[in-house]
Amino acid sequence: MGWEKANHHRTLSSLKKKGEMMTNPQIVECVPNISEGKNTEIVQRCIQSIESVKGVKMVDFSSDPDHNRSVLTFIGPIEEVLEAAYQLTVQALNLIDLRSHSGTHPRMGAVDVIPIIPLLNITMEECIQASDRLAKRIGESLHVPVYLYANSAKSENRKKLPSIRKGEFEGFDTKITCEEWKPDYGPCKKHPSAGVIAIGAREFLIAYNVYLDTIEKHSRKQWRAQISASEGHVHQRKEYGSGFDEYS
């Protein structure tokens, strides 16, 4: 279980005490998801690529070997965060090959998604513009197709990540040739080992796993129905189901 907003206030206070923040800095949070959750050395090298950028602070990371996926959380001034996200992408392209990847979580890229979240002295519109700059740089210099999603999406069908990710890495050989799924930046051809990336500005997201001790789809549907009947208290709800060999 993880939540994005848990530590950023504490980290901001720490940076202020250390004098590492300029006057009225534009601070954002970035929460890239990479398609590696088993090889700890690869995950650590990806973290090191983020930490190599001065002014950026790692807040948290979590890896799930069943999902074979890691979530990395860092904050800092907007331009430094964009640079750290770029350096992470460079490193991930060198280390992660989706042709030999397997895991229970849907995935379409070595770096699957790069969300940018406004924290301090910065608007959502400015984060949208920043995400566009990052997408353009990655698409053009690293030759990876990039889709803008969430608040950065340029069409309605790209606002939701599952819509873009449908078909996953293997399906993009065909999907990307459709005019509807032409990438916003980068080549109109899937990167052979790194797939495609989604980049976008959004608000905070709370994500957690619920493990059901059953393989019956009916039970999962009942659980979803109970969440849906929450009288409007759950907004922008997303869920997916997958199977695990073991429960802990």
Q: Report the alpha-carbon angle 243-149-167, nearest 5.
A: 40
Predicted confidence at residue 180, as pLDDT, reads 96
218 domain residue, yes or no: no
195 domain residue, yes or no: yes
90 domain residue, yes or no: yes
165 domain residue, yes or no: yes
Q: Could you read off the pLDDT of 122-178 as tens digits, one per residue?
A: 999 999 999 999 999 999 999 999 999 999 999 999 999 999 999 999 999 999 999
248 domain residue, yes or no: no
Instruction: Read off the pLDDT band of 204 (50, 70, 90).
Output: confident
The catalytically annotated residue of 8, 9, 101, 105 is 105
DSSP-derived pairing of the beta strands 33-34 and 69-77:
antiparallel
48 domain residue, yes or no: yes
Predicted confidence at residue 244, as pLDDT, reads 43
Q: Could you read off the pLDDT of 83-117 as tens digits, one per residue?
A: 999 999 999 999 999 999 999 999 999 999 999 99
58, pLDDT greater than 80: yes
Closest CA to 78 of 113, 32, 112, 29: 29
Tokens of residue 233, six digits? 């208290």
75 domain residue, yes or no: yes
Predicted confidence at residue 24, as pLDDT, reads 83
29 domain residue, yes or no: yes
81, pLDDT greater than 90: yes
> Does 247 or 184 have the greater pLDDT score?
184
Instruction: Read off the pLDDT band of 220 (50, 70, 90).
Output: low
224, pLDDT greater than 70: no
Q: Which domain holds residue 148?
A: 2-207
105 is an active site residue: yes
CATH number, domain containing residue 136: 3.30.990.10
Q: State in Å, rounded, how far the first CA of the chain is from the last one.
A: 13
State the total domains in the chain.
1
DSSP state of 176: T
Tokens of residue 70, six digits? 């890691």
